[in-house]
Structures are given as C-alpha cells and as structure tokens.
Structure 1
Amino acid sequence: MLTARTTAKETIRYEEVAEPVLESGRALVRVHNVTLCGTDLHIWEDDYPTDLPIIQGHEFSGVVEAISENTAGLRAGDRVAVSPMTYCGTCQPCRLGRHNVCRNIGCIGCYSDGALVELLSVPVDKLCKVPEELTLDLAAMGEPASIAMQAVNRGRPTAGETALVLGSGPIGLLATLYLTDLGVTVISADTEADRLDLARTFGAAETLLVDPAAGFPDAAQTARVDGLTEGYGPVLVIEATGVPSSLENAIRLVASAGRIVQVGISPRSASISMKDIPFKELDLMGSRNSLNLIPDGLALLARHPDQARALMTHRFGFEDLQQAYELMRSRTEKVGKVLIQMPAVQTATRTGSGREAVPAGASA
C-alpha cells in the first residue's frame, strides 16, 4: 500500500509498504478522507513536540475492511470515523475519568503513525460508526467537532444564557453551532469579516469585528454586548484563538461569577491581572481533546451538514499533500478545513459506493 511519511521539515516522501494484517482486538480501516488542522501544519514544519519521521493524519474517516470481533454491532463494510487519542487508564487523571489529559497520552497521527495511508490498523474500541445521513468526507471532522463540544461542555452552558466565542476558526465555529443547539445566545468575535459572516450561518446572534490596533471592544460594540447581557457581560466565554490578548479580553469582558474556557493553544504568555479573577470570582478552565465525544461530534455534523460543508474550503488528492500544506500556511488564502481525499475515494466514486461527496480538485 501507499503511505505518505513526513521525513523532515516540510518534506513528504511517498512509500510503498506492506499492508497491515488483522490482529485480535483491532480492525483494518480503508482510509477515505483525512482533514488537516493547525497541529498537522506544525508537525510538517517540524515545530511540534513529536519526532520525525512520522505518518501524519489524526482526523479521518473510512470503511471497515476487516474486524477481529463484532463489537457494538460493527462489521466489515461499516463507515466509521476513528478516535485517535490513546491513554493509559492508570494515571491519576485517567482514574478521575479525565483520560483526555492522561499523563501518558498518545494520538494516532501526532505521536504515532496515522491515517495518511491506504489501510490502517486501529483498536476496535476507537471505531465510531458514521450516522447514515452523514457523508464520509464530513465525517472526517468528527474529531474537531468533539474538541469544540468538550470546550463547550467544560463551560457548563445553560439554555437562555449569553456566551462570547472569541475566534471563528473551525473550533470556534463548531462551538458556536453546538452552543446554539443548546439554546445559548452566541456573540462571535474575530479579526476577519468573512469568518464572522460564516459565524452568523452557524447561529451567532451578534458578531464583533476585532481591530487589534484600535482596542476591543469599541464603544459601539460595548453597547451591543450590553444590550444582549443586561449590562453584565457574557456569563460564558470560549477562547478559541490561542492569542494572549484574547484571553486578557475574556477575563476583562466576562460577567462576574462567569466562566472562561481556554481551548486555543499557544506557547506564548498572557498578561493577567491578579485582581480580576478573584474580584469577579471567575471559573477559568482549560480544555483539551475530548472525553470520547466523537460520536456526539458526528451527530452534530449530521444535524448541520450545510454548516459542516462550509468549513471545508479546499480539497486535495493524496498525491497533492505537499501542495495542501503549503496552502495552509498561506497568508493570502482564506483557508478553513483542508480535506485530503485518499485513493479509496476514487474507487468509491467510480463504483458509486461510500457516499463520497465532491471529487478532489473541486471547490467545496
């Protein structure tokens, strides 16, 4: 089978290797679709705490080709997404039920070889059946949807509340979609007007265009937020940018007794007043990965296929992986989720099986 291995900084090498054999407790998945995120870009740029060479790909979907045990009704031919996270089950976080922050955490495609292969062996318990009404290309986004849902769940939202989502990239948009489903009024903020246009289609009741040079929010934006929150500010803020000033804004803008969830990741440091958190008695929480929420993420995408498809701005064939990474780091292109269509997609398209969506090279 054909694999794509990141062998060094910005270097992809395609290799022919033997197909995996079926082992007890595992399944063989024919990979159809892989979506790329910022972590994939950092690995390709050799700017991530993992060792090269590695086969990337941790957001993916495909079809079960063989399975060692009939677990949870799964069988050969089923369409699945795969949970890439692995954990030990014995460390303190795992014993607390918080295996998403396991001290020995692993991730297929980030710390071990992943899905940029034609056929992948995975543990049976990592398989998540794709809802009948969801196409396989959209199902590849079950993992990022689960991350957004984990962040929202950490914030303990209640219907009727008002939340501020800082950042309208894929995670911020999926958080907006989920919050709206839960009956929460969402204010979305971003530095890009086109992202805010998209946020409105994901359910945002109000959008705020951030001008980093002018200060945020300005007087008009403050009045709009006050109008939605009775002057108290949002009770929940989801910080989905990883920009230090954005966390500073979250602490400043959130209501007293409010909750802030930091899901955006950055190695940079924020400057936080030691006064605001205790004076407001804030709950400041981190969010990482998810607590096995990929089935919930797939259900969210199935309920909102138009919004899910709007996240996918570019599609590439497996052979054009280098071009896909170069696009992702572009400073001129508007890039959302980038989909890699594996060789199995071409076969499924020819035979009419698998319910594939748009061919590689076509616009989303």
Structure 2
Amino acid sequence: MKAVMYYGQNDVRVEDIAEPAPPAAGEVRIEVAWAGICGSDLHLFHNGPSYPTTPTADQPQPRTGETLPVVLGHEFAGTVTALGEGVTSLSVGDAVAVKANVPCGSCAACRAGLSNICRNSRGFGLSGGGGGLSEFVTVPEANAFPVGDLPLDQAAMIEPLAVSTHGVRRSGAAAGDVALVGGAGPIGVLTAAVLKAKGVHVIISEPNPARRRAALDNGAAHRAVDPMTEDLQAVVAEATNGDGVDVAFDCAGVVPVTHDLIAAIRPGGHLQIIAIPSKPLDLDVQNEMHLTEITYAGMFGYLDEDYRDAIAMANGGGLNLAPFISTRITPEEIVEKGFSVLLDRENTAVKILVDPHA
C-alpha cells in the first residue's frame, strides 16, 4: 500500500509498504479516506524528530519499539473494514475519526483521568504503529469514534477540532461571554469557531489581512482586529462596556501577543494558552496576576469527551467544518503543496487534506 514515510528532518518519502496485519483482539482495521497535515507534522519535517514521542534512527520509541522511518499522519478518518476479536462498539462499514494518542492507562496522569498528558503515550503518525498517511491502518477499538453521516473529509478535521474543544472546555467559556482569540492560524480559527458555536461573542486579533478576512468569511468570529494598526484595547473596551473580555486564548505563541491578551481580560477573567510559546514568558506578577486575579491554564491534546463533543458540533451542532478545508492533495504533493504552503507565514490555509489512495 502507498504510505508517506518520515525519515527525519526535511526527509519524507512516498513508498509502497506492506498492509497492516489483520486486527488483533480489541482492534479494528480502517481504510483511510483523508488525512490532514498538522503543525506537529510541520515541526517534525522542519526541525527533526522529537524523542521520545517520535523515535530517531537510533533510538526506538519506548512503547512501539520502532525506529525511523515511520508512517506519518495523525489527523485522519476512514471506514472500518475489519474487526478483531471482542470488538462490540463498531461494525464493518462504520465511518470513524481516529483519536491519535494511545495512553498507557497506568501512569499518574492516566490514573488522574488526564490521559491526554499520559507520560508513556504513543501516537499514530508520530511514534510508529501506523499512521493516517497510508491507505490502511489498524487501531484500538477505543481510538475509533463513529461520526455518523459526517463527510469523511470533514471527519478528518475532528482531531484538531478536539484540540480547540479541549482548550475551550479548560477555559470555562460559556454562552454570553466575550472572548478574545490571539492568532488566526488553523488552531486559532478553529478555537474561534468552537467558541462561536457555543454562543460566545468572539473577537479575533491577527495582523495578517488575508487571515483576518478568512476568519470572517468562514464565520469563525464576529470581529477581526489588526493589532498593528488598530487599538486592540479600545476595541475590547467598546465591546465589553469597558470591563474587558471574560476569557482570552493565546493561539499565536508570541510573547507580545500574550501580554496584549492579558491586558484585555477583565478582573478575575481567564487566559487559556493553547499555542506553545516561541520563548519563555516573563510575567509582571504584581500587575498581571496579583492585581487582576486572572487565572492562567495550559493544555495539551484532548480527552475522549472533547472528541465526542467535537463530533457532535460538526454533526449539526452549530459548526460547519467544510469552509475550513483549504485544499486536497496527493501524497506525492505533500512537500510542495502541503508543508511548503503551511510553513509560509503569509498563507491562509486552515486545513490541507491528503488522499492516501490518490
């Protein structure tokens, strides 16, 4: 079968590899319909493997035992084609979106109900054990979530949508709140869309004019602000009667943006950090924490409940994923029309999908 293989920094190859073995007990085999390109894929391609999540040529991944190369791709959806012994929640022919991480179930994080930050996790398309940028893959039953009638190209976006859903859940944002989203990249736009679907008034701050237009055209935000030419704090004051936003989301990972977000939050509000900051964040503890009593939270990945919530929103729950699909490409085009486009800071693509069978 055709697969996109990750060999290391700046080295991916489309190869013909063996199809996965029949599913073992508790597993299902999936014919992949679409796979998305994620920021983590870009990081691997541009910067090289991040051990221990991703193995190197010399260091096996602790849980899979694999070394490079591995099949790439962890945002994907497809159709169940075979069931292992004991599988009861799925049937052949079911359309599913695949949760990327496989937690160990026994570490301190897993025991605390935080499987998203499992200390021994492995991930499809990152750690070995198969990936979505291939024609077929075998996954545990618990990782395959039925999507009903949701088109499979949109189902391939459930994984990144679940990241945004988890961030919104962590933030406590609720209907009637006013939220400020910093950054209109893929996760910023999806976070804004989740907030809007939940009845939150959304302001998005983004210096790139094409990205601002795209956020508005896709219906992700009520207002888009250029922080380079507009007074962001004045816009927030106008929208909140001078109080400040209830919650802000850092989806840019740029230190000056983080401080702008903090300044826009009402007393006792919340800053949810979703992006990984480009450098350490220095806080003015007296003025940005003590005198505001703002709460701060990080996040990583998602939980099963976020996956189910994301599917429900996409399946008629107020969030149409179709406008966020920017283009569809073949595996052979993944560098030129995938990575290169997404690494361009001026691009406006939200999600580029790959057809593994093309």
Offset of residue 306 of structure 1: 8.2
Give the aligned length.
337
1:289 aligns with 2:301: yes
SS at match of 1:160: coil
8 A contact 2:26–2:87 mirrored in 1: no
Whether the 8 Å contact between 1:173 and 1:202 is mirrored in structure 2 is: no
Name the SS for the 1:137 alignment partner.
helix
Distance in 2 between residues matched to 1:92 and 1:106, nearest whole Å: 16
Change (3 A) 1:203 1:314: closer
Instruction: Identify the match of residue 144 of structure 2 among 127, 141, 159.
Output: 127
Provide Cα deviations, 1:122-152, integer angstroms capped at 9, x if missing partner. 11111011221x2111110000000000000
Mapped partners of 1:46, 1:203: distance in 2: 31
8 A Cα contact 1:142 1:295, kept in partner: no
Equivalent of residue 209 in structure 1, options 203, 208, 226: 226
Answer yes or no: is 1:32 the counterpart of 2:53. Answer: no
- 5 Å-filtered alignment, 1:180-259, equals 180-200=196-216, 201-211=218-228, 218=231, 221-259=232-270
Q: Does 1:12 align with 2:12?
A: yes
* 8 Å contact kept, 1:56–1:115: yes
1:67-106 to structure 2, matched below 5 A, reads: 67-69=83-85, 71=87, 73-106=89-122
Asked if 2 retains the 8 angstrom alpha-carbon contact of 1:187 and 1:204, the reply is yes
Name 2:3's counterpart in structure 1: 3
Deviations 1:57-99 (A, max 9, x none): 0000111110114645411111111001111222222111111
Contact 2:254–2:278 (8 Å) recurs in 1: no
Given that 1:131 and 1:299 are in contact with CA atoms closer than 8 Å, whether structure 2 keeps it comes out as no
Structure 2 stretches lacking a partner, 5+ long = 57-67
What whole-Å deviation, never above 9, does each CA across 1:302-339 have from its counterpart, x for those lacking one? 33798422222221112322322222223454332111
Identity of aligned residues (%): 29
Q: Which of the residues 332, 341, 348 maps onto 2:355?
A: 341
> Contact 1:190/1:209 (CA < 8 Å) preserved in 2?
yes
Q: Return the alpha-carbon distance in structure 2 between the equivalents of residues 72 and 208 of structure 1.
A: 49
Deviation at 1:199, TM superposition (A): 2.5
Greater CA drift, 254-263 or 42-51: 42-51
**Inter-CA distance 203–338: structure 2 relative to 1 (3 Å threshold):** closer
Structure 1 residue aligned with 2:43: 42
What TM-score does the superposition give when structure 2 sets the normalisation length? 0.88
Aligned to 1:360: none
> 2: CA distance between counterparts of 1:320 and 1:157?
39
Amino acid aligned to 1:202: G
SS at match of 1:255: strand
Give the root-mean-square deviation of aligned CA atoms: 2.0
3-state DSSP class of the match of 2:313? helix
Q: Residue deviations 1:171-221, cap 9 Å, x none? A: 12222122122221111111122222233343422221121xx6xx62xx4
| 1: CA distance, partners of 2:114 / 2:319 | 33
Provide the TM-score with structure 1 as the length reference: 0.86
Deviation of 1:236 after TM superposition, in Å, equals 0.4
Q: Measure the CA separation in 2 of the matches of 1:72 and 1:194.
A: 47
Range moving further from structure 2, 98-107 or 255-264: 98-107
In structure 1, the residue corresponding to 2:245 is in which secondary structure?
A: coil
Which residue pairs with 2:59 in the alignment?
none
